[in-house]
Amino acid sequence: MGTAGAARKLASAAAYGGGGLSVLGASLYGVLRLEAQAARRTIGNAEGAPPDPTGWYGRGRPGPAIKVALLGDSSAAGYGVHRVEETTGALLASGLAVRADRRVHLRAFAVVGARSSDLGGQLDRALPTAPDVAIILIGANDVTHRVLPAASVRHLSDAVRRLREAGVAVLVGTCPDLGTVEPIMPPLKQVARIWSRRLAAAQTIAVLEGGGRTVSLGSILGPEFAAAPALLFGPDRFHPSADGYRSLAQVLLPSALAALGLGPEDEQEPETFRGEGVMAITDAAVRAVNVPGTELDGTEVGGARRGVRGLWVELRHRRRHPDTDGEAPQEMELDHSEG
């Protein structure tokens, strides 16, 4: 079965409670199950809990503040770095404050080691804070813990639905390509690549159907990781280094601004010369998996959200902004006018 067919199958299985094992085949699943334990022992662990980036950013900038909830796994938490300014949350919040010229209040709910099934608990804590946007990074631990893709996608779909029903904009960084991780050896490397890419395609379809938007992380946030793993991975060779998290924030920031309706005026419409445009959902999901940094969002054609091949999707390759240094969060009282 091809990637497009697998994406359709997994999205359907998530919606109707089906399985999903057959997309890889029982023999490949058996290889993954036996060898994943050895790979996890090889990867090891970074020392200490990640710094907490929760707090205020953009001192001196005007309000009302943009409220951001950051959910997911260790990549969202910033596992492996020692300074809060180096975490994904601090880099994203600092970039949002600069690009939007607004104060930003970030609350981090991400947990090291989290799987998609843990999103419900994170949402229970996040929703009462009434965020404007929720940014979710999830999926890698589902692959390394051999969670069936249909179950992973179902949990993510439920999270997106709950957020959208609460009026929260949703941006999901889909599962990275774990076939690029150095300690994972063949044949597990090939299995991990197949599994993670098909999970990413299915995540994309589920998120878009639920009213969110996605950014593909592909080969661990772009070709830089494959080209320079020693620079962009941390000491355990699995979690990103400070430079890796900076690359992650650069990928997510333009789409976070777009999700908030704060993107640049000259990027309001797709640009065909950049490979942007409108297409059917499955075609767009497969293309996004193969091109890291691709943003997808639902759209309309002739006033209709769906065509004969499903949901219409706008595919974008948003320009990355100049690098913004992360700042440490400030402590200050939330104005009553900002809720």
Structural tokens at position 172 = 């999901």
State residue 176's pLDDT score. 86
Q: What is the pLDDT of residue 160?
A: 97
Say how many C-beta atoms besides its own lie within 10 A of residue 228's C-beta.
12
Residue 309, class by beta-carbon neighbours within 10 Å (0-12 exposed, 13-18 middle, 19+ buried)?
exposed
pLDDT band at 2 (very low <50, low <70, confident <90, very high): low
Q: What is the mean pLDDT of the chain?
A: 80
The tens digit of pLDDT for each residue in 218-254 reads 765 444 444 444 444 445 455 567 777 888 899 999 9
| Annotated catalytic residue, options 52, 236, 243, 283 | 236
Encode pLDDT of 52-78 as tens digits. Answer: 999 999 999 998 999 999 999 988 988
Report the alpha-carbon distance of residue 308 to residue 204 in Å, rounded. Answer: 19
Top pLDDT among 240 and 316 is at: 316
Active site residue 255: no
**What is this structure's pTM?**
0.84
Q: CB under 8 Å, gap of 24 or more: what pairs does 167-170 form?
A: 168/69, 168/127, 168/130, 168/131, 168/132, 168/133, 168/134, 169/132, 169/133, 169/134, 169/212, 169/259, 169/260, 170/133, 170/134, 170/136, 170/207, 170/210, 170/211, 170/212, 170/213, 170/259
- Pair of tokens at residue 100: 């939007």
236 is catalytic: yes
**pLDDT score of 10:** 60
| Catalytic residue of the set 239, 241, 247, 297 | 239
Read off the amino acid at residue 133: V
pLDDT at 172: 98
Q: What is the pLDDT of residue 34?
A: 52
Q: Pick the more confident residue, 88 or 187.
A: 88
Predicted confidence (pLDDT) at residue 90 exceeds the cutoff of 50: yes
pLDDT at position 3 over 70: no
| Residue 28 pLDDT greater than 80, yes or no | no
Candidates 73, 74, 105, 216; catalytic one: 74
Lowest mean pLDDT among 5-9, 79-83, 105-109, 212-216: 5-9
- Which two three-digit tokens encode residue 275? 């490979």
119-138 pLDDT tens trace: 999 999 999 999 999 999 99
